[in-house]
Amino acid sequence: MTNENNIKNALLSAQNISVTLGNRLILNDVSISVGAGDLKVLIGPSGAGKSTFLQCINQLIPTDSGSIYLEGERINMANNASLCHLRQNVGMIFQDFNLFDHLTAVENISLALRKVRNLSKEDANDRARKELNRVGLANRAGLYPAQLSGGQKQRVAIARALAMDPKVLLLDEPTSALDPELVGEVLAVINDLAAHGMPMIMATHQMDFVRSLATEVLFMESGSIIEQDKPHVLLASTSKSRTLDFCSKLNNLRQVAEHSPEITCTANSNT
């Protein structure tokens, strides 16, 4: 059975997830799996359920039904230790960064290293600085979130997730809260991760990025996955897919706004 193989071979797999919030069915039997080197992209209109789906995968939102498997092991969602184990192995990047406002960049990263990984203060700070360096922010270590630009905040958030050595990253529209000129520096970091084979599930509307790096595109609408295939199939100009239709509308909007900012793939542009 392909489904069972999927679960066994995948690093992380969410199967048949359904969620009801306030009497509304928000997710209707959706599934996704990520293996080594996968970059799966969720696309779909606002309110489709992308954020909810991503947060179900690491159980920030409890599901009504469905299962999560980490490296083939089914997660016991009623067990806190089991949930913490899942979350330590699955990093998450949020649309609005969610940095801890009372901690500096380096402290934002070292906190969980100390509390969850039980590193000493020194080791945690060393590691945190390494991660900041990796996202090109070594010289911003002592600044508080309020002193950083949006792009810098998101890079700190990525560094914070990476410091936990996650096996998979979940990214929820990591560039949508950013001014256009700051999108590039964050995408450059994500590009770099993809190049190093970090498995990711990402909700994004950065279509150039999707075309060049996604291994699979899942189009969501009203809580269901409607289409699912390789980007060059779904986005082929001859395709009649809902995905292509949706993306061409996005493109039109953007062209009206102005020409889209070019994605810079140069390594960690420093600001």
Ligand X SMILES: Nc1ncnc2c1ncn2[C@@H]1O[C@H](COP(=O)(O)OP(=O)(O)O)[C@@H](O)[C@H]1O
Q: Which of ligand X, Mg ion, other proteins, none sits in contact with 115, Cβ below 5 to 8 A by type?
A: other proteins
Q: Binding to other proteins by residue 158, rule CB under 8 A?
A: no
* Contact set for other proteins, span 79-138 (CB under 8 A): 80, 84-85, 87-88, 90-92, 94, 96, 98-102, 111-112, 115-116
Q: Nearest-CA neighbor of 201 among 230, 171, 227, 165?
A: 171
Q: Which residues partner with 65 through β-bridges?
A: 18
- Report helix, strand and coil shares of the chain as percent, to nearest 5: 40, 20, 35
Give the Cα separation of 264 and 266 in Å (integer). Answer: 6
Q: Which C-beta is closer to other proteins: that of 85 or that of 254?
A: 85
- Asked if 171 is part of the footprint of other proteins (rule: CB under 8 A), the reply reads no
Residue 111 site contact among ligand X, other proteins, Mg ion, none (CB < 5 to 8 Å, cut-off depends on kind): other proteins
Over the window 39 to 68, marking each residue x when it contacts Mg ion by CB under 5 A and - when it does not, the resulting string is ------------x-----------------
48 binds, among ligand X, other proteins, Mg ion, none (CB under 5 to 8 A by kind): ligand X
Question: 247-256 contacts: CB < 8 A, separation 24 or more?
Answer: 247/43, 247/207, 250/205, 250/207, 251/207
Residue with Cβ nearer ligand X (21 or 267): 21
String of DSSP letters for 214-263: -SEEEEEETTEEEEEE-HHHHT-TT---HHHHHHHHHHHHHHHH-SPPPP
Interacting residues with other proteins (CB under 8 A): 55, 58, 60, 80, 84-85, 87-88, 90-92, 94, 96, 98-102, 111-112, 115-116, 143-147, 157, 160-161, 164
